[in-house]
Every structure is written in structure tokens, then in C-alpha cells.
Amino acid sequence: MDKTVTHDVGRFFHHYPHQAVVVTARSKDKENAMTAVWHSPVSYSPPLYGVAVSPRRLTYRLIMESREFGINFLPVEQADVIVQVGVAKGDDVDKFTAFNISRQSPTIISAPLLSDAYACYECRVVDHRSYGDHTMFIGEVVAVHFSPKAFTSQEILDLKHVLPALYLGGDTYFSADHNSQRLLGRQTYKGPSEPRHPRRPR
């Protein structure tokens, strides 16, 4: 592919698509929700999940105070909620009431979870660090909620039942088409295995 090179990086966007999730947080009596696309699993053992949140957000302050957050994975039918909580400021409006978002109770943390999510993580902050204009919060996943019918027996999101909310950049959202799904076995693609104790060259 021919490529253009620029060192004037600015607001880089070439890494999209990403999944859009809703981050929930609560401190004292204030509950809030905001959209995030800058999030990632970080470790299986212990189970860690990271999300980058700007210090300008109310959500940032609530996470700093409570040291907890929720990650809510929504289907694409909920894209309007993703935009609503990604635009409104929790300092100005109670987003749950304004957008009629229904909550479900967490089991360990105090941040609410979203009833319409097909999966949610309850996370306790184990570390946070500021990088440029965002802060990366690393949370230990202390509880997972998931809809069993959203996943296959191989622990793969079942695209015949749930279409995840994916974000392409700008104001564009889409989902994955199960017809484009391919099963490529790792064994088939593995190179010749290394001998356990490689012999020294003679």
C-alpha cells in the first residue's frame, strides 16, 4: 500500500476502530457514566483492565475519590446512549435520569452497572498514572457480569446474538458482521517447534 508520511502527528486517528464502552463511577452520592474508547485488557493474572480518562471529566474525579470504576460493554442498538453519555457532562446533568438509563447493582464496588450491557466489569483501581492529557487507570477486575447467551461455548462473542458497539472515529459507529468472521486455527499457523535444548552449532 502506498503511504503518506507526516511528522505533524496532531490528533492521530489511524488506530480506529475500537469498541466504545461506558465507564461508570460513583463517589458518595454522585453517580456518573461516560463513554470511553481508549481502554484495554492489561493482564490475565491478576485480571487487570485499563482505561484512559482525561482529568477534565467528572468521571475522573469520581474514580480518583472512590478508586473504583465499572466497564460496560453495550450492543450497537445502544449507540445513542453511548453518544449521550459521551457528550453530556455529569457536572451539569444526571445522565441516568436525563437519558433514562437503567442501572443494575454491582456486587463489590459501588459504581452502578448498566442493565442493557451484555457484559460488565467491576474494577478496583490498583494503579494510575498520567500520560500527556489523559490518566491511565489500571483496575483489578473483581467481578464480571455477562449474559451467557451473548457468548458461545468457546467464549467468543456470539455475533448472531449480540452486535458490539464499535467506533470508527468522528461520529461514526458500526458493528461486526458475523458473515465476515473467520476461524483460523493457531496450530495451522504455528511455525516448526523449537527444540527444547537447542544444540550448540558444531
Ligand X SMILES: Cc1cc2nc3c(=O)[nH]c(=O)nc-3n(C[C@H](O)[C@H](O)[C@H](O)COP(=O)(O)O)c2cc1C
Q: Is 62 helix (H, G, I), strand (E, B) or coil?
A: helix
Among 24, 57, 63, 119, contact with ligand X (rule: CB under 6 A): 57
Residue 22 CB burial class (10 angstroms; 0-12, 13-18, ≥19): buried
Residue 98 interacts with ligand X (CB under 6 A): yes or no? no
Rounded Cα distance between 111 and 11, Å, is: 31
In the complex with ligand X, the residue whose CB is nearer, 89 or 129, is 89
**Cβ atoms within 10 Å of 136's Cβ, excluding its own:** 17
Cα torsion 172, 177, 183, 184 to 10°: value is -30
Query: Per CB under 6 A, does 26 bind ligand X?
Result: no
Binding flags for ligand X, 108-137, as an x/- string (CB under 6 A): --------------------------x---
Q: Is 54 in the site for ligand X (CB under 6 A)?
A: yes
Secondary structure (3-state) at 3: coil
Smallest distance, Å, CB 80 to ligand X?
Answer: 11
CA dihedral 140, 145, 148, 149 (to 10 degrees): -110
The least CB distance from residue 109 to ligand X, in Å, is 17
Compare residues 93 and 151 and give the one whose CB is closer to ligand X.
93
Does 59 bind ligand X (CB under 6 A)? Our answer is: yes
Amino acid in the structure at residue 112:
P
31, 58, 119, 122: residue in contact with ligand X (rule CB under 6 A): 58
Residue 96 in contact with ligand X, rule: CB under 6 A: no
Question: Residue 40 or residue 181: which is nearer to ligand X going by CB?
Answer: 40
Task: Assess 35 for contact with ligand X (CB under 6 A).
Answer: yes
Scanning the chain, the segments in alpha helix (DSSP H) are 58-66, 79-87, 95-98, 186-189
Query: In what helix (H) or strand (E) does residue 184 lie, and over which residues does it extend?
Result: none
Contacting ligand X (CB under 6 A), which of 87, 108, 144, 156? 87
- Positions touching ligand X (CB under 6 A) are 20, 32, 34-38, 52-54, 57-59, 83, 86-90, 134, 167
